[in-house]
Amino acid sequence: MNMQNYQPKAKLALAMATLAFAANFSVWILYAVIGLQLQETMALSATELGLFFASPMLTGALLRIPAGLAADAGNARRLWLWQMALLIPPLLLLPYATELWHYMVIGLWLGISGTSFTFGVRYVTDWFERNQQGTALGIFGAGNAGAAITLALAPLLVDAFGWASLGWFYALGMIFMLILFALFAPQHQSNLRPASTGSWKAQLRYFKQLQVWRFGLYYYFVFGSYLALILWLPQYYANAYGMSDGAAMAFTLFFATSSSMVRALGGWFADRYGGRAVNWNVFWLCLVCLFFLSYPPTTMTIHGVNQDVNLSIEINVWFFTWLIFVIGIAQGFGRASVYKIINDYYPNAMGSVGGFVAALGALGGCTLPIVFGVAVDLVGIYSVCFMVLYAVLALCMIVMFFANKADRFQQRLQQAQTSNFLEQD
C-alpha cells in the first residue's frame, strides 16, 4: 500500500482507537461516581472506600501485562473487540449489587477495561512513522477524557433515572462502541511495524531490565496518581470543603478533562524537545504544587507582649483547584512524554514494554486510593493524601536524577572510547 492510501487509514485508525479508549476509560472510572453514593448509604470508612476504588484498578493494572504480550504476538484489533465484549456482562449485573463485596467483585470484572490502553498503543503504533509516535500516542492518550464522560454524564443519568440506571446505560454504550469499532476501525497494516522480537518468552526479557522498571515508576506517578485523584477528588471536595455531590463532580471534571486534552500537546512537545526533558520539568512543577497542597488547615496562636495573636492558614477551594489544575496539565504532558521515551528505546516492543509500564502506572490507581484511605483514618487529616503523592514524586525524581547521571557518564565513556583518547594522551 502506498502512503497516499495509507495516510487516511492511519487517521481513521487513530480516531477510532481514541474513541474506543475513551469509552473504556469512562467505564474504568465509573466507581468514582458510585463511591459518593456508597459512602453515604453504607457509611464506609476512608479505608473501605479506598478498597472499593481499587477493585477495578487492580485487574486493569495486572491484566495489562498479558494483554501487551498478546498484542505484540497477535492482532491487537481483534483482541480489543473481545475485551469490549467481555465488559458488557458486569455492566448489566451492576444494578443488582447490594453489598460492598458485590461491588468489589463486579469492579474486578470491570477492570478489564483498563487493558484497552495496551491494545490501543499497539494498534496505533502500527500506523505511524517513528518520528510521529509522540504526537500520535498523545492524541490517542487524550482518550483519558473518557473520565469526563463519566463525571459529566453519570450524575445526569442518576438524577433522571436513578443509580440502577448506570449499568444499563453504560452497557448500551459499550455495545454501540463495539459495533462502531468493528465496522470502521481499519485492519492492521504491517508496513511500519518493526520486525518481531520473537515469542512471548523472548519478550519477557524486557521485564528484567532496570530501565523498564524506572519508566514504570515515572508512569506510576503521572498516570497512577491521575487515576487516584479522579477517584479521590469528588469525596475530597465533599468532605474537606463541604461541597454538594454535583459541585464536587464538576470540579473533578475540570481536572480530568484539562489533564486529558493536553496529552496530545504533550506528545508534540516530547517529539520536539525530547521525552526526558519534558518529564523532568513536569516533575519539578508537580513537586512545587504538592508542597502547598500538603499543608493542612492550621490555626496558630502567637503569644505577644500584650495579647495573643491568632493566625489561620488554609488553602481555599479556588487556590486548591488552581493547584490541582496545574498538576493535571503537568501529568498530561508527563503521560505523553513517558511513552515517547518508551518508543525511543523499545519501538519493536510497544505492546509488551508499553503494557508492563502501563500496568505499573495503573497500580498507582489501585494502591494509592488504599494508601490515601489508610492515611486519612490514621492521621485524621484530609490533605495527607497529597503528602503521600509528594513522597512518591520525590522518589521518582531521585531515581531519574541518578539514571540521567549514569546515562551521561555512559555517553561520555563511549565517546572517549570511540575517539581513542588514550592514544591522544
- Determine contact, residues 377/224, Cβ cutoff 8 Å: no
Contact predicate 107/51, CB 8 Å: no
For residue 425, being part of any structural domain is answered with: no
Report pLDDT for 216: 84
Residue 360 in grid coordinates: 505499573
DSSP letters along 215-258, please?
HHHHHIIIIIHHHHHHHHHHHHHHHHS---HHHHHHHHHHHHHH
Residue 423 lies in a domain: no
Average pLDDT of the residues of the chain: 83
Longest dimension (CA), the chain: 86
Sign of CA dihedral 336, 342, 348, 354: negative
Q: Global pTM?
A: 0.76
pLDDT at 91: 94
pLDDT computed for residue 191 by the predictor:
46
Q: Which residues contact 65 (CB under 8 A, 6 or more apart)?
A: 355, 356, 359
Q: Are 346 and 277 in contact, with CB atoms under 8 Å apart?
A: no
Averaged over 367-388, what is the pLDDT? 89
Length of the chain: 425
**Is 205 part of any domain?**
yes
- What pLDDT does residue 231 have? 85
Enclosing domain of residue 103: 3-190+199-300+309-418
Does residue 143 belong to any structural domain of this protein?
yes
Q: Mind giving me the DSSP string for 370-404?
A: HHHHHHHHHH--TTHHHHHHHHHHHHHHHHHHHHH
- CATH code at position 405: 1.20.1250.20
Q: Give domain status of residue 315, yes or no.
A: yes
**Nearest one of 137, 36, 117 to 343, comparing CA atoms:** 137
Helix (H), strand (E) at residue 419: none
In tens, the pLDDT along 9-29 reads 888 989 999 999 999 989 988
Asked if residue 39 is part of any domain, the answer here is yes
| 3-state secondary structure labels for all residues of 109-135 | HHHHHHHHHHHHHHHHHCCCCHHHHHH
Q: What is the pLDDT of residue 320?
A: 93
Structural domain contains residue 403: yes
Distance from C-alpha of 329 to C-alpha of 226, rounded to nearest angstrom: 10
How does residue 2 score in pLDDT terms, banded at 50, 70 and 90?
A: very low
* pLDDT band with cut points at 50, 70 and 90 for residue 424: very low
pLDDT in tens, 379-411: 888 888 999 999 988 988 888 777 767 767 766
**Least confident span in 32-36, 95-99, 289-293:** 32-36
**286 falls within a domain:** yes
Going by the DSSP 8-state scheme, the letter that residue 296 receives in this structure is: P
Residue 273: its pLDDT value, please? 83
pLDDT computed for residue 200 by the predictor: 56
Element (H, E) at 262: none
Q: What per-residue confidence (pLDDT) applies to 171?
A: 94
15-29, 185-199, 405-419: which has the highest mean pLDDT?
A: 15-29
Cβ atoms within 10 Å, residue 129 = 11
What residues are paired with 310 via a beta bridge? 301
Per-residue pLDDT band at 199 (split at 50, 70, 90)? low
Number of separate domains in the chain: 1
Quote the CA–CA distance of 341 and 345 in Å, as a whole number. 6
